[in-house]
Structure 1
Amino acid sequence: MRITVDRERCEGLGMCESMAPDHFEVIEDDDGNETVDILVPEPDASDRDLVQSAVQSCPVLALTFTG
């Protein structure tokens, strides 16, 4: 299982962080824009449902969860 983020789409809205704060963190990029940082790019199988829900909560569809 792997989480990826499309930084061109990400607006740093924080839905993923609010649902799974151990896996996502909203940060400010070099240009001063907010974006998400993936803290655990390959989460444990026990976190699959939580991570999948957080990914699906992204209103701009910037996150992908494969595996």
Structure 2
Amino acid sequence: MKITVDQGRCVGAGQCARLAPDVFDQREEDGVVTLLDPAPPPERHAPARDAADVCPSGAITLTARP
């Protein structure tokens, strides 16, 4: 799995960082998502998918790795 984030779309809701704290964080100054692990190991895939699913702005994109 490869993860990308669009910080310009992020509204700072923080669900991603709560659901997958090993993959996502938030900038302190404005709450915008930061990506900690763009290619997480399999045990982090489910939380990352959950985070992408609940992202209100659709700022998180997941793609399968070749």
The TM-score bracket by the shorter chain reads 0.7 to 0.9
Aligned to 2:34: 37
Compute the RMSD of aligned alpha carbons: 1.3
Secondary structure, in 3 states, of the residue corresponding to 2:9?
coil
SS in 2 for 1:55: helix
Q: What residue in structure 2 maps to residue 22 of structure 1?
A: 22
- Structure 2, unmatched stretches of 5+, are none
Flag structure 1 segments of 5+ consecutive residues without an equivalent.
none
1:7-62 per-position Cα deviation (integer Å, ceiling 9, x unaligned)? 1110111000010111110104xxx5331111011001222111111111101111
| 4+ runs deviating over 3 angstroms | none
Letter matched to residue 60 of structure 1:
S
Give the TM-score normalised by structure 1.
0.84
Paired residue for 2:12?
12
TM-score by length of 2: 0.85
